[in-house]
Amino acid sequence: MKRNFIACFLLLTSLAAGAKQQGETSMTLPDGNGSSREPVELNRNKRQPLPYKDATLPVETRVEDLLSRMTLYEKIAQLNQYTLGNNDNVNNIDEVVDKIPSETGSLIYFGDNASLRNAMQKKAVEETRLGIPILFGFDVIHGFRTVYPIPLAIGASWNPGLAGEACRVAAMEAWHAGIDWTFSPMVDIARDARWGRIAEGYGEDPYLTSVFGAASVKAYQGDDLSEPGNIAACLKHYVGYGASEAGRDYVPTEISRQTLWDTYLPPFEAGIKAGAATVMSSFNNISGIPGSANHYTMTEVLKEKWNHDGFVVADWNAVVQLISQGMAKDGKEAAMYAINAGLDMDMVDNLYMQHLEALLNEGKVSMERVDDAVRRILKLKFELGLFENPYTEEKPESEWVLLPESLETARNLAEESMVLLKNDGDVLPLEKDCKVALIGPMARNQKDLLGSWFGRGRAEDVTSIYDGLNEVMETSVAYAPGCDFDGSDTSGFAEAVRVASESDVVVLCLGEKRNWSGENASRSTIALPGIQEDLLMTLKETGKPIVVVLSNGRSLDLTRISPAADAVLETWQPGVMGGPAVASVLTGGTNPSGRLTVTFPYTTGQIPVYYNHRESGRRGSQGLYQDIPSTPMYEFGYGLSYTDYEYGQVTVSADSFTVNDRITASVTVRNAGDMDGKETVQWYICDPYSSLTRPVKELKHFEKRLLKAGEEYTFTFEIDPMRDLSFVNGEGERFIEPGDFYIMVKDQKVRITLTE
Ligand code: NOJ
């Protein structure tokens, strides 16, 4: 049963009563299990700082010095994480400790400001023997208080620079609230929108996810983690969590080594290269070995092949879940499997604390492994400057939350992430003096525009679509809710029809509640509930043009909605500036520039459907559905705008080259319309014949750029054969084979040849 609690940070008082300050000689500490630990020498000379407290020394030296002074209990305590504050996350269940030792490595911090953190930190820094500061982490997924669009929307912006700006805002706010570490970015590839956590990643493509993941890591962490406003990042969920069967959460995944390397590992590798300080192990069982007990992924790949020198934290209770997953017979065995596989920090289930000492004594876990895990955690604490600056200055909230420039970033990102799916008869953009009937359950809603994982965001911070639209329209907007998000109550339909009949155009705001996606929020169909579709069908009978505005945390089955609407705008869950952003796009203040990063299937039954699949043995007219087209409704990369972009001929600097050459592909794009707009050129590669078959096409590069009306620009893609034309096998070894390849841009396909 879930127990919410304000953590009682009762430091072992016997410990506090003993020696705490540097300068004292030695002491024996009781540990949580009642056994004693060896005495440890501390520095007698008060004027000479202990090496680990000397900020002029290299981090490695400080880590080694501190490690050499630690008792076993102090080391084990570093490997545990608990919570502090009111844990209001419904999926964070089964907390198992109510007394948190002040020597603990980390806490998940549920605070709006730094005061509680500072009080706890004081216990750790001033009342423990070695004064090791605690690392405070939190799920800052798409903003802390200034909530910006969900990651799935961020991907659809195709603007990693802007995504980085938003992460800077999140980091700044979180840092002021006392958070050192965010459990973000999530770089899980998801191809099944029934899985609610598709909302938390950047979509179905490994390359695009890699780019956004790396941009987020760099933005959160900055160049120097100890600088104000920088926080450590955490790549999650390592790995393959998105391969969830039938979209159910937490279930086992079947992933071949080939698919692991082709699809699920690349974004993690990119994030590690970008400098991610930490990684979170996943809940899913990966073809027999759970992610949180997987030596291959955590040690052989992450730490040995990629040389990651940060640490791996478990997902919530992921160690104890090794029992439910059928691997460990009890908590002790679970702890053994996890730490031996390379999992450094145990999130909340307290098993490392309970069992590591015994496991060491029995020789089932080595001291070397424990020391390695402790080193990795201490290293981050030193890099964050926590020993020098353990406390967060408590500034008035007005100085750091919802600042005008933060809201501006949130708004820009919301605008750039919206995808215009349909616009028959150029019904959009709306004239500002037209009479709008704003209808639907999302029209005046605030809280659901936040999406899942909204940090410390508040519904009252959100500007609704109704308020956003009223702000820009010259005539006042008429409103009727029509119906709720689900259920069968059609009593509001008549009023909606009346309002629609008196208008020039209907803007119908449909979608999902925020808790319909995210963790543990799967849906068996990704169509909207029938009542919302029925409202559209009823309004259609008025003969008025209908613009459907969608807000949701996944791709949708629009089989009924899309044909019935004149225009469809996908706005995702756009965050606090959702209303103004929607209004701007609807009225042409912003030319829509978002493009899908998840395929919208024709119906739910097509799932999984994604663009970068391999070719079938019988192409074309075979292997088709009896009842629906075999092509999706809207493909990856799709999205309309209010202007026309004319693409010239794609050219290449050489059509034949060797592996050591670089060739440049170019295409000139002209904004042939009369509205400025941002166009993203998407560069794909196709390797038609290979000893290890490749997907029909793979995104390798993209660039988004503002093109003023009438302006043209030549976009380029410099091809590095080893990077862009090679492939990996199931062991992660990279190969390149001579032969023909195709560069694909829009509907063009240009052949290039790699020679021996
Ligand atoms: C479980 C989620 O899977 C993970 O993404 C999150 O970071 C942790 N809970 C902590 O809240």
- 683 and 601 within one domain: no
Closest protein CA for atom 10 of ligand 1: 316
Closest protein CA for atom 4 of ligand 1: 315
CA of 293 to the centre of ligand 1 (A): 17
520 CB less than 6 Å from ligand 1? no
Q: State which of 182, 315, 347 you would mutate to test the pocket of ligand 1, scoring each by most atoms of that ligand within 8 A of its C-beta.
A: 315
For residue 87, is pLDDT > 50? Answer: yes
- 602 and 651 within one domain: no
CA of 315 to the centre of ligand 1 (A): 6
Residue 494 falls within a domain, yes or no? yes
Residue 365 falls within a domain, yes or no? no
**Per-residue model confidence (pLDDT) at position 33:** 34
| Full residue range of the structural domain in which residue 11 is found | 1-69
Please write the tens of the pLDDT for every residue from 362-404: 999 999 999 999 999 999 999 999 999 999 999 999 999 999 9
Q: State which of 92, 281, 349, 456 you would mutate to test the pocket of ligand 1, scoring each by most atoms of that ligand within 8 A of its C-beta.
A: 92
Query: Which tokens belong to 443?
Result: 């029209």
**Could you identify the atom of ligand 1 that is nearest to the CA of residue 183?**
7
CA of 242 to the centre of ligand 1 (A): 14
- 601 and 717 within one domain: no
315 CB less than 6 Å from ligand 1? yes
* Residue 438 binned pLDDT confidence (cut-offs 50, 70, 90): very high
Of all residues in the chain, what percent carry a pLDDT higher than 90?
A: 91
- 572 and 715 within one domain: no
92 CB less than 6 Å from ligand 1? yes
The set of residues, in sequence order, having a beta carbon less than 8 Å from that of 132 and lying 6+ positions away, is 66, 74, 78, 103, 124, 125, 378, 381, 387
**Could you identify the atom of ligand 1 that is nearest to the CA of residue 92?**
9
Question: CA-CA distance, 302 to 486, in Å (whole number)?
Answer: 44
b/e burial code for range 174-210 (CB count within 10 A of at least 16 → b): bbbbbbbbbbbbbbbbbbbbbbbbbbbbbbbbbbbbb
What is the CATH number for 540?
3.40.50.1700
For residue 665, is pLDDT > 70? Answer: yes
For residue 683, is pLDDT > 60? Answer: yes
CA of 355 to the centre of ligand 1 (A): 23
- 591 and 659 within one domain: no
197 CB less than 6 Å from ligand 1? no
Amino acid at 750: V
The set of residues, in sequence order, having a beta carbon less than 8 Å from that of 356 and lying 6+ positions away, is 76, 79, 335, 339, 365, 370
**Of 578, 606, 634, which closes a domain?**
606
**Of 48, 69, 90, which closes a domain?**
69
Residue 158 falls within a domain, yes or no? no
Task: List the one residue out of 743, 716, 423 whose CA is nearest residue 585.
Answer: 423
Residue 359 falls within a domain, yes or no? no
Of all residues in the chain, what percent carry a pLDDT higher than 70?
A: 94
519 CB less than 6 Å from ligand 1? yes
* Residue 614 binned pLDDT confidence (cut-offs 50, 70, 90): very high
* Residue 11 binned pLDDT confidence (cut-offs 50, 70, 90): very low
**Could you identify the atom of ligand 1 that is nearest to the CA of residue 89?**
11
**Could you identify the atom of ligand 1 that is nearest to the CA of residue 237?**
5
Tokens 């995702």 identify what position? 572
Average pLDDT, the chain: 94
- 696 and 583 within one domain: no
Question: CA-CA distance, 659 to 81, in Å (whole number)?
Answer: 48
Provide Rg for the chain, Cα atoms: 27
236 CB less than 6 Å from ligand 1? yes
525 CB less than 6 Å from ligand 1? no
Closest protein CA for atom 1 of ligand 1: 316
**Per-residue model confidence (pLDDT) at position 96:** 65
* Residue 80 binned pLDDT confidence (cut-offs 50, 70, 90): very high
CA of 517 to the centre of ligand 1 (A): 14
- 595 and 661 within one domain: no
110 CB less than 6 Å from ligand 1? no
Question: CA-CA distance, 336 to 329, in Å (whole number)?
Answer: 11
What is the CATH number for 699?
2.60.40.10
**Per-residue model confidence (pLDDT) at position 18:** 29
Give the residue, 26 or 472, on which the prediction is more confident: 472
For residue 487, is pLDDT > 70? Answer: yes
**Per-residue model confidence (pLDDT) at position 609:** 97
- 503 and 413 within one domain: yes
Residue 263 falls within a domain, yes or no? no
What is the SS3 assignment for 2?
coil
How many domains does the chain fold into? 3
- 655 and 601 within one domain: no
Q: Average pLDDT, stretch 314-335?
A: 98
Closest protein CA for atom 9 of ligand 1: 316
Can you give the three-state secondary structure of 114-152, one letter per residue? CHHHHHHHHHHHHHCCCCCCCEEEECCCCCCCCCCCCHH
Residue 189 falls within a domain, yes or no? no
Residue 60 falls within a domain, yes or no? yes
**Of 24, 48, 69, which closes a domain?**
69
CA of 415 to the centre of ligand 1 (A): 28
89 CB less than 6 Å from ligand 1? yes
Please write the tens of the pLDDT for every residue from 509-561: 999 999 999 999 999 999 999 999 999 999 999 999 999 999 999 999 999 99
316 CB less than 6 Å from ligand 1? yes
For residue 138, is pLDDT > 60? Answer: yes
- Is 25 buried (19+), middle (13-18) or exposed (0-12) by CB count in 10 A? exposed
- Catalytic residues, by residue number, are 315
Question: CA-CA distance, 154 to 152, in Å (whole number)?
Answer: 5
What is the SS3 assignment for 451?
coil
Question: CA-CA distance, 643 to 649, in Å (whole number)?
Answer: 20
**Per-residue model confidence (pLDDT) at position 43:** 54
The set of residues, in sequence order, having a beta carbon less than 8 Å from that of 106 and lying 6+ positions away, is 80, 81, 82, 134, 135, 136, 137, 181, 313, 345, 377
269 CB less than 6 Å from ligand 1? no
CA of 236 to the centre of ligand 1 (A): 9
- 555 and 671 within one domain: no
Residue 274 falls within a domain, yes or no? no
For residue 5, is pLDDT > 70? Answer: no
For residue 92, is pLDDT > 50? Answer: yes
For residue 29, is pLDDT > 50? Answer: no
- 455 and 602 within one domain: yes
CA of 268 to the centre of ligand 1 (A): 17
Contact by Cβ (8 Å): 476, 539: no
**Per-residue model confidence (pLDDT) at position 93:** 78
Closest protein CA for atom 3 of ligand 1: 315
Contact by Cβ (8 Å): 235, 217: yes
- 673 and 547 within one domain: no
Handedness of CA 218, 219, 224, 226 (dihedral sign): negative
| Torsions phi, psi for 411 (to 5 deg) | -70, -45
Contact by Cβ (8 Å): 132, 443: no
CA of 190 to the centre of ligand 1 (A): 17
